[in-house]
Amino acid sequence: MSWYLQSVGSDDGLEEYPPLSTPMTETAAPARYVWATRGDINAFFGLMLDNLGDMILMATLLVGVFQMPAEFVLTKMIPGTAVGVMVGDLIFTAMAFGLARKTGRSDVTAMPLGLDTPSTFGTVFLIIGPAYALARGKLDAEAAAQHAWYVGIAMLLASGLFKLLCSLVSGFVRRVVPRAGLLGSLTAIALVIISFMPLIDVASQPIAGFVALTLILATLTARWELPRRIPGALAAVVVGCVIYYVMNLCGLGPGLGAEGPKPSWSLRVMLPLPIADWLEWFRIHWRETVAFLPVALPLALATVVGGIDCTESAAAVGDSYPTGPIVAVEGFATLVGGLFGGVIQSTPYIGHPAYKAMGARAGYTLATALFVGAAGIFGYFDWIFYLLPKAVVFPILIFVGLEITSQSFRATPRRHFPAVALACVPALAYLASLTLKQVLPGEMALAALAPSARRWVQTVIMLSGGFIVTSLLWGTMLANLIDGKLRAAVMSLVIAGGLALFGVIHSPLPSSPIVPPWEAIRLLESQGRSEASAGQSPYHWAAAYWLAAAVLAVVGRFGTAPPPGRSDEPIAV
């Protein structure tokens, strides 16, 4: 395959990407931007269902697990969350037009934006759910839900401001971090969060779920074309729903309403603007609210890293957007969502290569913005939540995860494959920690376990803490080491040690708060975890990274760097 140099974006410089169309010559006329194609139909259903899947997930967990009033969740939290998606996708649509005009290309694909799946789990289980449970002991259900909602708004506003600040340095991060580090952490998210976790819901209703998944894989992954060119994502949902509801009529399924209460037939227009009341509440409860920041900010940091990853992923297939503005848009969209009562972060989706492969341009993000925004504001999301089973909707998430994983390897030099694989390992610990949370009571109580089991669980907790950042650093370190860039590899370990010291990564506490090491040790003792984490405190993790950095420095001083091309050769063992 031929390669060509492409320079797009103020902060990216010259990089090599595979050509997606014939490169322009100096005398060639700019091609007219074809902003909507048939591929946008498939991409629209993919991105739209992806966002609706996260909204369904949030509502299901809050209502089903924490017993929050369903009407409150649907009328207070959903509209603002949907508006954040709408604003972000509208801006990304405009950026696609700008990139097409700047490059003269007709095949620019808009960057997709949607709700962040890890943040959905984190916000529900570590912020809103606990806040509601604590308030429920003192207040009635409606008042407790309002209190938890305000806590969620506070964390979303803080996350949006934090991401706007991070956008100022995100371009620099993208330039200095090798592609294996960026895409390796992206692969970890794709495999664990976007592919495996939705698969659990698909498998919970295997007949409808696996039929829908098979249609998705046949049409979107294997590229089989259906009769009359029916969009594969639409066909998967329709066929899956038919099977699901026929089984219900035969008494073989959970029945109608399994996903939530029946909505009202009356049309409603709901767009909360709670800021005035929220400010008065925050004046009284700010100390309690600030206590959730050590949970919220790592989630925001993870989306910033993900945004940088997504920009690199888009560049790998030819659409080179400037990194800073992309991260700034996700921060702005998150802020707007919070202002209107949303509680889940907006972030660039890692599905850009998948939508590019479908032939999408900018029509799909425009359509998604209008559909999702209207669903929240005009209330027809209530019926979507009621009628669409997760087992039928979530296969599209699995496809996106698989597409990103394969793209990450295609866009990475072969010699860096081990770095991409290493970056996936911390995500496996995160997956194990999610499983443990389902079977252990409370905050992963260890008292009832045998000593060896307690230590194993505690180790998994620490490996999973901040796994996205850990993946980035591990992949970066190994990629630089493979390329003989010893100083950069050493610096990755030094940075990892500093982050581990304050719990950004490898926090010994289940909620992974960012706290000084002495505070972490105090909390470990108060929770009865000090014995299980002996030898694995933040001090130990920091020392481990820094000592490893020193060892690499010695290797660099006395060893010999691999010659160019040597790392691509098979290793004799």
pLDDT tens, N- to C-terminus, the chain (573 residues)? 222 222 233 333 333 333 333 344 444 456 788 899 988 988 898 888 888 888 988 988 898 888 899 889 999 999 999 999 999 999 999 999 999 999 888 899 999 999 987 788 778 877 898 899 889 888 889 999 999 999 999 999 999 999 999 888 877 776 777 777 777 777 877 777 778 878 888 998 899 999 999 999 998 888 888 887 788 888 998 999 999 989 888 877 766 655 556 666 666 778 888 988 999 999 998 888 887 886 787 778 778 877 887 888 888 888 999 989 999 999 999 999 999 999 999 999 877 887 888 889 999 999 999 999 999 998 888 888 888 888 888 887 788 778 778 877 877 888 899 998 898 888 888 888 877 777 776 555 666 677 788 788 888 888 888 887 888 899 999 999 999 899 999 999 999 999 999 988 898 877 677 788 888 888 877 777 766 667 788 999 999 999 999 999 999 888 888 877 655 554 443
| Cβ neighbours of 92 (radius 10 Å) | 27
pLDDT at position 252 = 77
Q: Is 419 in the same domain as 491?
A: yes
Tell me if 354 is assigned to some domain: yes
Asked whether residue 4 is domain-assigned, the answer is: no
Residue 19 in domain: no
Percent helix, strand and coil across the chain, each to the nearest 5: 70, 0, 30
Residue 261 domain-assigned (yes or no): yes
Q: What are phi and psi of 347, to 5 degrees?
A: -155, 150
Which of 412, 430, 462 delimits the end of a domain?
Answer: 412
The pTM for the full model equals 0.71
**Residue pointed to by tokens 């739209």:** 48
Give 151's Cβ-side CA count (13 Å radius): 28
Distance CA 128, CA 145 (A): 9
Domain count, the chain: 2
Q: Are residues 467 and 358 in the same domain?
A: no
If asked whether residues 152 and 251 sit together in one domain, one would say: yes
Q: Flag whether 28 is in a domain.
A: no
Q: Are residues 151 and 216 in the same domain?
A: yes
Q: What is the pLDDT of residue 434?
A: 76
Identify whether residues 404 and 474 lie together within a single domain: no
Beta partners for residue 6, in sequence order: 15
Residues 481, 363: one domain? no
Distances (CA, A) of 91 to 109, 148, 424: 13, 30, 31
126/252 same-domain check: yes
Distance CA 446, CA 442 (A): 10
List the alpha helices (DSSP H) in 323-414: 323-339, 352-358, 363-378, 381-387, 390-393, 395-410
- 146 and 54 within one domain: yes
On whether both 158 and 302 belong to a single domain, the answer is yes
Residue 152 belongs to what domain range?
33-412
Q: Are residues 417 and 401 in the same domain?
A: no
Q: Does 374 fall in a domain?
A: yes
Q: Are residues 408 and 423 in the same domain?
A: no
**366, 385, 412 - which closes a domain:** 412
Residue 21 lies inside a defined structural domain of this protein: no
Predicted pLDDT of residue 2 = 25
Q: Are residues 344 and 436 in the same domain?
A: no
Tell me whether residue 573 is in a domain: no
Which of 385, 412, 439 represents a domain boundary (last residue)? 412
